[in-house]
């Protein structure tokens, strides 16, 4: 009989594909029709993603506490309902301010409750020995969503018009996603008389401690490892996001046509799948700091490649280590929080750490654009990324996580 935890994992792949595919990767597809409909500028349209990100980060600490205290299946069902409602609302808007209101009020909680927060919290509860690979496999959903949903949504808009397309998406989410969550998501293994990883033996003393709440919000905020993880991951994630948002413009500056340049983003998404799988397995066996240092090293190789490459094959080759490294961030990051704070307080810790990273991830893309405007190219930005990675690597050396049980090969 298949361990129920794998069914829960499959459901999180699906929910993260919806969340990332529709709200992150397909954002440009969703927002573009409003330019013609309301005569809006690109700058005003991009404000929608700022509102989505800002509201998501502000809600994150409260959502994390809710995940630890309540039934995750109910929470994810509410997220799916809000995502469906958000698309239905977008199909009925008559002014730009209404679009911005939907991105500020309805979609941020859906973004949180169907994304990494709930998915990785479930994985830390259902898996212990196999936690690294479970986090990696679950995170593949974001790459699948990024690969599938933008072209599907674009085709749907072309066939039905944007109002009917968004209404159809909202209806499909309600009809498909909510039943999937209800059927396949179970809050924790003990609810159905199982142990983490499907083990027959009763949980050990250390496993019992892992499943007991030991951290208050104040205690988490006082813990040095909380700030170390938040700052290090914030720097690494900010560097990657800044590169991602400027990769296509950098490629077009080298004389590469925009359609071919856009394929580089798809290449990163595909490579991230391999990175999530590989680093997910490594997270079970390596010191997590070594895993994160490895990801940083791959990113550094990629940036050195971008500094020297001036042709399409060269830039694509530089994307190889960057995509693998980006895929490794989610499982390593999730495993660090689980090892540091335990499964019972995972949601609270992850929810609190998102606002710590927010200043880095918000600042990096526009600063990179400013460097380009000042210098006329991205070379100094890529050099700055390398310096940032060195700083993050040095800070990571001071991180001390609680010991974990050895995992058999």
What are the pLDDT digits (tens) for 22-76?
998 787 788 888 988 998 876 677 788 778 888 998 999 999 999 988 999 999 9
Give the H or E element holding residue 403: none
List CB contacts of 53: < 8 A, sequence separation 6 or more.
358, 361, 362
pLDDT in the model for residue 235: 95
Mean pLDDT of the chain: 88
The whole-angstrom separation of Cα 43 and Cα 49 is 11
What average pLDDT score do residues 252-270 get? 81
Q: Are 91 and 184 in contact (CB under 8 A)?
A: no
pLDDT in the model for residue 406: 39
The whole-angstrom separation of Cα 129 and Cα 208 is 14
pLDDT digits (tens, 9 = 90+) for 195-221: 888 887 666 555 555 556 678 889 999
Q: Does the pLDDT at position 385 exceed 80?
A: yes
Q: Does the pLDDT at position 366 exceed 80?
A: no
State the pTM of this model.
Answer: 0.77
What average pLDDT score do residues 234-260 get? 84
The whole-angstrom separation of Cα 390 and Cα 284 is 25
């Amino acid at each position: 009989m298949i361990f129920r935890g794998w069914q829960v994992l499959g459901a999180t792949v699906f929910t993260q594909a919806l969340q990332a595919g529709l709200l992150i990767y397909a954002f440009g597809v969703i927002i573009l029709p409003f330019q013609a409909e309301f005569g809006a500028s690109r700058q005003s349209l991009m404000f929608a993603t700022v509102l989505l990100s800002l509201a998501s980060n502000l809600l994150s600490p409260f959502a994390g506490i809710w995940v630890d205290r309540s039934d995750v299946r109910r929470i994810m069902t509410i997220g799916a309902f809000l995502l469906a409602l958000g698309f239905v609302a977008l199909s009925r808007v008559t002014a730009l301010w209404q679009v911005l209101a939907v991105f500020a009020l309805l979609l941020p909680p859906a973004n949180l409750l169907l994304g990494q927060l709930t998915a990785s919290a479930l994985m830390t509860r259902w898996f212990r020995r196999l936690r690294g690979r479970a986090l990696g496999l679950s995170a593949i959903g974001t790459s699948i969503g990024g690969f599938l949903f933008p072209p599907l949504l674009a085709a749907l808009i072309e066939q039905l018009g944007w109002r009917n397309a968004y209404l159809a998406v909202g209806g499909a989410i309600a009809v498909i996603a909510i039943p999937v969550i209800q059927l396949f998501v179970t809050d924790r293994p003990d609810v159905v008389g199982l142990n983490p990883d499907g083990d027959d033996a009763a949980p050990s003393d250390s496993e019992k401690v892992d499943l007991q709440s030991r951290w208050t919000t104040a205690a988490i905020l006082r813990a040095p490892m909380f700030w170390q993880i938040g700052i290090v991951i914030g720097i690494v994630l900010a560097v990657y996001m800044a590169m991602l948002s400027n990769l296509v413009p950098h490629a077009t500056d080298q004389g590469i046509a925009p359609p071919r340049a856009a394929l580089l983003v798809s290449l990163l998404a595909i490579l991230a799948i391999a990175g999530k799988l590989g680093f997910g397995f490594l997270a079970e066996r390596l010191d997590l700091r070594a895993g994160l240092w490895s990801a940083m090293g791959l990113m550094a190789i990629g940036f050195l490649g971008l500094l020297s490459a001036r042709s399409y094959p060269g830039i694509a080759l530089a994307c190889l280590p960057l995509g693998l490294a980006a895929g490794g961030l989610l499982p390593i990051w999730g495993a660090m929080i689980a090892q540091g704070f335990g499964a019972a307080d995972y949601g609270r810790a992850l929810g609190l750490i998102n606002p710590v990273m927010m200043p880095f991830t918000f600042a990096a893309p526009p600063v990179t654009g400013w460097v380009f405007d000042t210098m006329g190219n991205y070379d100094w930005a890529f050099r700055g990324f390398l310096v940032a990675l060195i700083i993050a690597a040095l800070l990571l050396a001071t991180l001390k996580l609680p010991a974990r049980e050895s995992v058999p090969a």
